[in-house]
Amino acid sequence: MFDRDRWVEIFETIRKNKLRTVLSGFTVALGIFIFVILYGLGNGLKNTFQQFFLDDAENVLFVRPGRTSIPYKGYKSGRRIEFVNSDISDIEGQFRYFIEYMTPRIFSSVRATYETESENYSNISVGPDHQYIEKTVMMYGRYINEQDLVTREKYAVIGRLVALDLFGQLDVVGHYIDLNGFAYRVIGVFQDSGGDNVERTIYTPYTTQQLLNKSTDKISMFAVTFRKELGHRGSIIFENKLRQYLKEKKVISPRDPRGVWINNLADSLKRNQQFAGALQTIVSVVGIGTLIAGIIGISNIMVFVVKERTKELGIRKAIGASPRSVITMVLQESILITTFSGYAGLFLGILMLSSVGERLDEYFITNPYINLNTAIFATIVLVVCGGIAGYIPAKRAASIKPIVALRDE
Amino acid sequence: MIKLENIHKSYKMGSSALHVLKGINFEVESGELVAIMGSSGSGKSTLLNILGMLDIADKGLYQLDGTPIEKLNEKRAARYRNHFLGFVFQSFNLINYKSALENVALPLYYQGVGRKERQKSAMELLERVGLEPWAKHLPNELSGGQKQRVAIARALVSKPKVVLADEPTGALDSKTSYEVMELIKEINNEGKTILVVTHERDISQMCNRIVRLRDGEVAEDFLTSNRVINH
Distance from A398 to chain B by nearest Cα, in Å? 9
Contact A319 B90 (CB under 8 A): no
Amino acid (1-letter code) at residue A363: Y
pLDDT on residue A53: 64
Choose the closest CB to A401 out of B55, B90, B94: B55
Put simply, the answer to whether A316 touches B110 (Cβ < 8 Å) is yes
Residues A44 and A352: beta-carbon distance below 8 Å: no
Residue B225 has pLDDT above 60, yes or no: yes
Contact predicate A220/A106, CB 8 Å: yes
Q: Please provide residue B39's backbone torsions phi and psi, each rounded to the nearest 5 degrees.
A: -75, 170
Flag if B78 and A321 touch (Cβ within 8 Å).
yes
Whether residue A20 lies within 8 A of chain B, CB to CB, comes out as no
Q: Give the residue from B74, B69, B56, B64 showing the smallest Cα distance to A321.
A: B74
Closest chain B residue to A6, measured at CA: B109
Q: Do B93 and A315 touch (CB under 8 A)?
A: yes
User: What average pLDDT does this structure show over B152-162?
Assistant: 91
Say if residue B103's pLDDT is above 90: yes
With bands split at pLDDT 50, 70 and 90, how would you rate the model's confidence at A52? low
Report pLDDT digits (tens) over A295-342. Answer: 888 888 888 888 888 888 888 888 888 888 888 888 888 888 888 888
- What is the Cα–Cα distance from A9 to A333, expressed in whole angstroms? 10
Q: Are A215 and A227 in contact (CB under 8 A)?
A: no
Which comes out higher in pLDDT, residue A372 or B137?
B137
Band (pLDDT 50/70/90 cuts) for residue A2 is: low
CB distance B75–A322 less than 8 Å? yes
B138: exposed, middle or buried (C-beta count within 10 Å: 0-12, 13-18, 19+)?
middle
pLDDT at A57: 59
Reply yes or no on whether the pLDDT at A56 is more than 80.
Answer: no
At residue A143, the pLDDT reads 93
pLDDT at A409: 46
Give residue B230's pLDDT: 44
Q: State yes or no: pLDDT of B226 exceeds 70.
A: no
Tens digit of pLDDT for each residue in A273-302?
Answer: 788 788 878 888 888 888 888 888 888 888
The residue among A4, A5, A319 with the most chain B CBs within 10 A of its CB, best to mutate, is A319
Give the number of other Cβ atoms within 10 Å of residue B184's Cβ.
25
List CB contacts (< 8 A) between A407 and chain B: none
Tell me what the pLDDT averaged over chain B comes to.
Answer: 88
Test A16 with B98 for CB contact under 8 angstroms. Answer: yes
Angle, in degrees to the nearest 10, between helices B144-157 and B100-110: 20
Which residues have a Cβ under 8 Å from the Cβ of B123 and sit 6 or more positions away? B101, B132, B135
pLDDT of residue B120: 93
| Chain B residues touching residue A325 (CB < 8 angstroms) | 110
Subunit contact B110:A318, Cβ cutoff 8 A: no
Of the pLDDT bands very low, low, confident and very high (cuts 50, 70, 90), residue A47 is: confident
Residue A338 has what pLDDT? 85
| pTM of structure | 0.65
What is the interface pTM, i.e. ipTM, of the complex?
A: 0.87
Binary contact (B95, A316; C-beta < 8 A): yes
Residues of A in contact with B74 (CB under 8 A): 322-323, 398-399
Site from B79, B87, B154, B156 to mutate, A interface, most A CB atoms within 10 angstroms: B87
CB contact under 8 A, B158 and A320: yes
- Rounded Cα gap, residues A224 and A222, in angstroms: 7
Residues of A in contact with B87 (CB under 8 A): 318-319
Name the closest residue on chain B to residue A406, using Cα atoms: B93
Half-sphere exposure at residue A274, Cβ-oriented, CA atoms within 13 angstroms: 5
Residues in A 325-354 with any Cβ partner in B closer than 8 A: 325
Q: Of B8 and A48, which is predicted with more confidence?
A: B8
More confident residue, B41 or A173: A173
Chain B residue nearest residue A13, CA to CA:
B97
Average pLDDT over residues A174-196: 89
Nearest in space to A141 (alpha carbons), one of A106, A167, A175: A175
For residue A61, the tally of other CB atoms under 10 A from its CB is 24
pLDDT at position B228 over 70 = no
**Among B96, B31, B93, CA closest to B65:** B31
pLDDT band at B231 (very low <50, low <70, confident <90, very high): very low
Does A322 lie at the interface with B, CB-CB under 8 angstroms?
yes
A364 pLDDT higher than 80: no
- pLDDT tens digits for B62-92? 998 888 888 777 788 888 888 888 889 888 8
CB-based contact B115 A8, cutoff 8 Å: yes
Residue in B110, B117, B136, B166 to test binding to A, most A beta-carbons within 10 Å: B110
Task: Calculate mean pLDDT across residues A170-183.
Answer: 90
Name beta bridge partners: B119: none
Inter-chain residue contact B97 with A8, CB threshold 8 Å? no
* A138: number of Cβ within 10 Å: 14
Do A319 and B110 make contact, defined as CB atoms within 8 angstroms? yes
Contact between A66 and A260 under an 8 Å Cβ cutoff? The reply is: yes
In tens, the pLDDT along A99-141 reads: 889 999 999 889 999 888 888 999 999 999 999 888 888 999 9
Amino acid B105: pLDDT: 93
A176, A206 contact by CB (below 8 A): no
Residue of A389 and B64 predicted with greater confidence = B64
Instruction: Name the minimum distance, in Å, from the CA of B229 to any CA of chain A.
Output: 33
User: Hey, are the CB atoms on A320 and B91 less than 8 Å from each other?
Assistant: no
pLDDT higher than threshold 80 for residue A244: yes
- CA B177, CA A383: separation in Å to the nearest integer? 49
Whether A403 and B55 lie within 8 Å, measured CB to CB: yes
Interchain contact A11–B (C-beta under 8 A): no
Tell me how far apart the alpha carbons of residues B96 and B139 are, in angstroms, rounded to a whole number: 6
**Residue B204 Cα, gap to closest chain A Cα (Å):** 23
Is residue A310 less than 8 Å (CB to CB) from chain B? no
B interface with A, Cβ–Cβ below 8 Å: 49, 52, 54-55, 74-75, 78-79, 81-83, 87, 89-91, 93-98, 102, 106-107, 109-111, 114-115, 154, 158
Where is pLDDT greater, at A52 or B213?
B213
Per-residue burial over A199-215, b if 16 or more Cβ lie within 10 Å, else e, is: bbbbbbbbbbbbebeee
